[in-house]
Chain A
Amino acid sequence: MRRAPVLTFTKNGIYCPAGDFYIDPWRPVERALITHGHADHARSGHRRYLATDLAGPVMQHRLGKIDLDAVKYGQTRQIGDATVSFHPAGHVPGSAQIKVEVSGEIWVVSGDYKTENDGLSDPFEPVACHSFITECTFGMPVFDWQPQAAVMAQINDWWANNAAEGRTSVLGAYALGKAQRLLVHLNPDIGPILSHTAIAKTNDILDRQSILTNNSIQVTANLDVKNLPGALVLAPPSALGSAWLRRFGPVSEAVVSGWMRLRGVRRRRNAERGFVLSDHADWKGLLQAVRATGAENIYTTHGYTDVFSRYLNEIGYHAQTVKTEFTGETLEQDQAP
């Protein structure tokens, strides 16, 4: 007799029949296991939520009052006939890969992940499994990241140079993950770091969780920015080029994203600088992660899914593309996670 698969792909999202739950579903369901707090993975309207204790506070901040149960990394939970556990994905603080085991067969849902240790999130841990459901936002060999330290040095140089020329530096970065990664690694000796309200809220939450020390100043209506020469402002990408920036006087704007690897995208964004830094794995990272799971079956969910599966098939995996509603790293405002 053929066993039912551990996870199936339904119109609501990734579903586990043995435990009757969904992982990162995009339509309201009874029970949702959530990999991390980005909007394309953690949506509102589910009756019960399960996530890591580290991801919980941000989810509550973003989704309001939800029925949330939390687990620690590595801790197992029995749900129906399935055993589940959450493992670090290295994507943003609290982000997890979800491991589901039914009668000895193991599937892992990667959520979003990166393989480089960013010094903020718990670093990615490979989880051995039979089937691996992976994102591949940057599943093309043109995406090849430099080490984080090198990129931070470029940003520090750019910031110091702007400060010397009397301009405020504005960095467009996601409110959850990217912004805090910058906050932790940029050199505070160059000048004060300011945060847009959307980012400052997240900083405070992570500060209360002791994940970081929020040494940035929130930009409020009565903040006297004239007294803060040489400042660097962390803002959501949608704030770039907007009227909100006028208060800072002359500015230099830059976008921090994996997409900045492509000159064409950088030019379309009209930002003066683009720094190539992503919370998603690059091509080599994806291949390394797939290899490390030891899985034979690979399902690709979002990003360059067709290309990545085709390549995996050529190098000996059973890979296929799954249609989902995850968006990955995006520069389009209506989809910002």
Chain B
Amino acid sequence: MKTFTALFAQLDETTKTSYKISYLSNYFQVADPMDKLWTIALFSGRRPKRAVTTTQLRQWAAERANIPLWLFEDCYRVVGDLAEALALILPPAQQTSDRSLSDWIVWLRALHALPSDQRKPQIISAWDQLPVQQCFLFNKLITGGFRIGVSQRLMTRALAQATGQDAATLAHRLMGNWTPDTTTWAELIESDSPATDLSRPYPFYLANGLEARGNHTLETGPDVDVDQEADPAAAQLGPCQDWRAEWKWDGIRGQIILRDGNVFVWSRGEELITDRFPEFTKLASLLPDSTVLDGELLAWKSGRPMPFNALQKRIGRKTVPKKLRDDAPVILMAYDLLEHQGRDIRLQPYDQRRAHLTTLFATLPDTCPLRLSQGLDFKTWGDLASMRAGARAAGTEGVMIKRHDSAYGVGRKKGDWWKWKLDPLTIDAVMIYAQAGHGRRATLYSDFTFALWQGEDLVPFTKAYSGLTDAELAEISKWVRKNTLQRFGPVRQVTPHHVFEIAFEGLHESPRHKSGVALRFPRMRRWRHDKVVRQANTLDDLKEMLSRYG
């Protein structure tokens, strides 16, 4: 565990990508192969099967630290990470252990064979021999979620440096269904023809956000100061003949794989979600074998997308009842073809891939749960700007712009694919509750509840966590401490005094909310120092937005 802990500490202590790559690459050159394999697995969200529950961990650690459970829960709320909170309250280790990362994993798995009442003394004995950093990582092996700013892209770059292989090839190898049990370091990383994993998806290609000139997204000269209306942001991309456009659909990015008579559905989070979308099983008989489609999963009815929450009901459940399928049938809005007739065609130009895709769709029956994401026809950037303005009415969140000759890349590589999103909806609301943040923001108030007017009352309608700068957070935290009216556990009711502009991507009816409305991606966009509480919007204003955009 020491080597892995040392790597973790190095990665955790720097924000510089080049340092992270060299630390990882050094580790991949010297560490034990089993440890290396597990390191890749852990950093890409895989973990050994859990032998104890998180509830048990909390109880046992509180007991070991001789504190009441409520106190542990309060600690956890401040720390924001269960594995860390456990490590911090446990008494310091009295012994040491030489077990390596993979030894500990083997040890953890052996717990499954033990009757459940014997697992507790085992876990406690492990805690007793792990210094705080190692103990934290040991707990992470159980709870999962190694978030240390090592993206898949960074890891593949480090692996490429350590092994001398091509990064894109490695990225593809790391995708899919493997676990350290089904493969080895040699097979996954080093072998010339890795055992073909039928379900293995391709790395997703991601677009960058396009912003108006003057913002820092695109490199532009300091002298640029043009009217956005007359000269849309997209004009920075050069002649519009070189570009293609489609709607930007608001669903779940997905890849559908047809190989050897099987259908696999992958989410962008690299999760195999086939079971949640039984609609697609029939594709095996509708499309030729060895086809891979990239697109957006959407709940779709009467020729248009349903609100995002209709799709959300599918996530997080193992089986899909018939009623849900009837109420919110799902389709794939396909926009790219990655594998065609058994060949990886990602390097072909966009227009060519789209031509294959269009041919494929020509013969599909109406009942097929696939739609082709139509190209938008525009002669000038101004045309496209006006289409974008109609995106909300089309049930989309803007437009995508792709270069006509672009290959299908890996990850978020700037230059060929852009998303030009609609400006968000906004409303001015009053802050009424504040709650201290956790983890990074443990010393600040950062979780707020906002309200709108209904007659003389302020009705809470949304929470928001993000959007303020550190300086603004410090300022509001100081104010919250001095203007608390009442405390409800960690939540403080504050004097209604500050108005914030809340931005959000969409809204829908929700009986679970007091206001009857739920927002999508709410965040604080601006602190309206210029407004007094009476000038905040009303609940009726929000309902009006619901009838127009909901």
A141 with B444: CB separation less than 8 A: no
In the complex, chain B residues whose CB is within 8 Å of the CB of A334: 474-475, 478
B441 and A144 contact, CB distance less than 8 A: no
Q: How far apart sit A16 and B85, CA to CA, in the bound complex (Å)?
A: 41
Q: Is the CB of A267 within 8 A of B443?
A: no
Q: Determine the chain B residues whose CB is within 8 A of the CB of A306 once the complex forms.
A: 487
The yes or no answer to A311 lying at the interface (CB within 8 A) is yes
Q: Which residues of B contact A307 (CB under 8 A)?
A: 71, 74
Interface residues in A255-299 (C-beta closer than 8 Å to B): 259, 261-265, 267-268, 270, 272-273
Q: Of A261, A314, A335, which one neighbours B68 at CB under 8 angstroms?
A: A314
In the complex formed, the residue of A with least CB distance to B74 is A307
**Which of B11-19, B239-247, B331-339 lies at the binding interface?**
B11-19
**In the complex, are the beta carbons of B74 and A332 less than 8 A apart?**
no
Q: Are B13 and A273 in contact (CB under 8 A)?
A: yes
Known contacts A261-B88, A264-B80, A265-B440; is A140 also within 8 Å of B75 by CB? yes
- Given A311-B71, A325-B482, A335-B478 in contact, is the A259-B443 Cβ separation under 8 Å? yes
Q: How far is the CB of B81 from chain A (nearest CB, A)?
A: 7
B262 within 8 A of A: no
Within 8 A of A (CB), among B58-76: 65, 67-68, 70-71, 74-75
Does the CB pair A141–B442 fall under 8 Å?
no
- Is there a chain A Cβ closer than 8 Å to B390's Cβ? no
Question: Counting chain B CB atoms within 10 Å of each CB, which of A142, A304, A306 scores highest?
Answer: A142
Rounded to whole Å, the gap between the CB of A140 and the closest CB of chain B is 5
Task: Please measure, in the bound complex, the distance between the C-alpha atom of A335 and the C-alpha atom of B478, giving whole angstroms.
Answer: 8
Q: Is B84 an interface residue (CB 8 A)?
A: yes
Chain A residues lying within 8 Å of B385, measured Cβ to Cβ, are none
Interface residues of B in 251-303 (CB under 8 A from A): none
Judge whether B89 is part of the interface by a CB distance below 8 angstroms: yes
CB–CB B79/A267 < 8 A: no
Is B443 touching A142 in the complex (CB atoms < 8 A)?
A: no
Q: Which residue of B lies closest to A323 (CB)?
A: B484
> By the criterion CB–CB under 8 Å, are B14 and A141 in contact?
no
* A272 neighbours in B (Cβ, 8 Å): 13-14
Pair B443/A263 contact, Cβ less than 8 Å: no
Q: What is the CA–CA distance of A144 and B88 in the complex, to the nearest angstrom?
A: 8
Which of A261, A262, A272, A330 lies at the interface centre, i.e. has the most chain B CB atoms within 10 A of its CB? A262
Instruction: For the complex formed, measure the closest distance between the CB of A18 and the CB atoms of chain B, giving whole angstroms.
Output: 29
Is A142 within 8 A of B478, CB to CB? Answer: no
Contact partners of B444 in chain A: CB under 8 A: 332
Q: Is B346 an interface residue (CB 8 A)?
A: no
Q: How large is the interface on B (under 10, 10 to 19, 20 to 34, 35 or more residues)?
A: 35 or more
Task: State A273–B9 Cα separation when bound (angstroms).
Answer: 10
A142-B475 in contact (CB<8A): no
B33 within 8 A of A: no
| A270 adjacent to B478 (CB under 8 Å) | no
Using an 8 Å CB-CB cutoff, how does the interface string of B107-131 with A read, 1 for contact, 0 for none? 0000000000000000000000000
CB pair A270–B15 under 8 Å, yes or no, is yes
Distance in angstroms from B195 CB to nearest chain A CB is 38
Closest-by-CB residue of B relative to A140 is B75
A-chain residues with CB within 8 Å of residue B74 when the two chains form the complex:
140, 304, 307
User: Nearest chain A CB to B285's CB is how many angstroms away?
Assistant: 51
Q: A264 to chain B: which residues have CB within 8 Å?
A: 79-81, 438-442
Q: Considering the chains assembled together, what is the distance between the CA atoms of A273 and B15 in angstroms?
A: 11
Hey, what's the 0/1 contact readout for B217-248 against A, CB within 8 Å counting as 1?
A: 00000000000000000000000000000000
Is A242 in contact with chain B by the CB < 8 A criterion? no
Residue A140 contacts which of B14, B15, B78, B80 (CB distance < 8 angstroms)?
B78
Q: Which residue of chain B has its CB nearest to the CB of A141?
A: B89
Asked if A7 is an interface residue, CB under 8 A from chain B, the answer is no
- Asked if A268 and B440 sit within 8 Å, CB to CB, the answer is yes
Residue of B nearest to A268 (CB): B440
Report how far A98 CA is from B282 CA in the complex, Å. Answer: 80
Closest to A263 in B: B84
Q: In the complex the two chains form, is B75's CB within 8 Å of A142's CB?
A: yes
Residues of chain A with a CB closer than 8 A to B79's CB? 142, 262, 264
How far is the CB of B491 from the nearest CB of chain A, in Å? 12
Q: 1/0 contact trace for B88-120 toward A, CB 8 Å?
A: 110010000000000000000000000000000
Q: Distance (Å) between the CB of A256 and the closest chain B CB?
A: 15
Decide yes or no whether B477 CB sits under 8 A from chain A: yes
Query: Which residues of chain A are near B65, meaning CB under 8 Å?
Result: 141
Tell me which residues across on chain A come within 8 A of B470, comparing CB atoms: 268
| B440 pairs with A332, CB closer than 8 A | no
Shortest A174–chain B CB gap in Å is: 15
> B477 — nearest CB in chain A belongs to which residue?
A332
Cβ B478 vs Cβ A263 within 8 A: no
Closest A residue to B87 by beta carbon equals A142
Is A333 an interface residue, CB under 8 A from the partner? yes
Q: Give the residues from 221 to 270 in chain A that come closer than 8 angstroms, CB to CB, to chain B.
A: 259, 261-265, 267-268, 270
Interface set, chain B 437-451, CB cutoff 8 A to A? 438-444
Closest to B475 in A: A334
Q: Which residues of A contact B81 (CB under 8 A)?
A: 263-264
The complex places the Cα of A307 from the Cα of B482 at a distance, in Å, of: 19
A333 cross-chain contacts in B, Cβ below 8 A? 471, 474
Distance in Å: Cβ of B152 to nearest Cβ of chain A: 20
CB of B443 within 8 A of CB of A331, answer: yes
- A11 vs B84: C-alpha distance when bound (angstroms): 39
Question: For residue A314, which residue of chain B has the nearest CB?
Answer: B68
Question: Which A residues are in CB contact (< 8 Å) with B78?
Answer: 140, 142, 262, 304
- Taking CB atoms and an 8 Å cut-off, the chain B residues in 461-485 that contact chain A are 470-471, 474-475, 477-478, 482, 484
Chain A residues with CB below 8 A from B438, complex form: 264
- Give the CA-CA distance A262 to B65 in the complex, in Å: 18
> Residues 110-134 of chain A: 1 if any B CB is under 8 Å from the residue's CB, otherwise 0?
0000000000000000000000000
Q: How far is the CA of A272 from the CA of B16 in the complex (A)?
A: 10
Q: Which residues of A contact B484 (CB under 8 A)?
A: 323
Q: Which residue of A lies closest to B473 (CB)?
A: A332
Please indicate the chain A residues that have their CB under 8 angstroms from the CB of B442 in the complex: 259, 262, 264-265
CA distance A328 to B111 in the complex (A): 44
Interface string of B424-457 (1 = CB under 8 A from A): 0000000000000011111110000000000000
Chain A positions 313 through 337: 1 when the CB is less than 8 Å from some CB of chain B, otherwise 0:
0100000000101000011111100
What is the CA–CA distance of A268 and B65 in the complex, to the nearest angstrom?
28
Contact B85 A265 (CB under 8 A): no
Q: Which of A267, A325, A333 has the most CB of B within 10 A?
A: A267
Taken together as a complex, chains A and B put the C-alpha atoms of A261 and B81 apart, in Å, by 13
- Pair B440/A142 contact, Cβ less than 8 Å: no
Known: A264-B79, A270-B15, A332-B444. A142 touches B85 (CB 8 A): yes
Residues of the A chain whose Cβ atoms lie less than 8 Å from the Cβ of B71? 140-141, 307, 311
Interchain CB contact under 8 A, A263 and B12: yes
Contact status B75-A332, CB under 8 Å:
no
Q: Which B residues contact A (CB, under 8 angstroms)?
A: 12-15, 65, 67-68, 70-71, 74-75, 78-81, 84-85, 88-89, 92, 136, 438-444, 470-471, 474-475, 477-478, 482, 484, 487
User: Could you pull out 21 A-B pairs where Cβ atoms are within 8 angstroms?
Assistant: A140-B71, A140-B75, A141-B67, A141-B71, A141-B89, A259-B443, A262-B79, A264-B79, A264-B81, A264-B439, A264-B440, A264-B442, A267-B12, A268-B470, A272-B14, A310-B70, A311-B68, A331-B443, A332-B474, A333-B471, A333-B474
Q: Which 8 A-B pairs have CB atoms at the shortest separation, nearest pair first?
A: A264-B439, A268-B440, A332-B474, A142-B88, A264-B440, A142-B75, A141-B89, A272-B13
A interface residues with partner B (beta carbon < 8 Å): 140-142, 144, 259, 261-265, 267-268, 270, 272-273, 304, 306-307, 310-311, 314, 323, 325, 330-335
With contacts A264-B442, A272-B13 known, what are 10 further pairs, Cβ within 8 A?
A142-B85, A142-B89, A259-B442, A262-B79, A265-B439, A268-B440, A270-B15, A304-B74, A333-B471, A334-B475
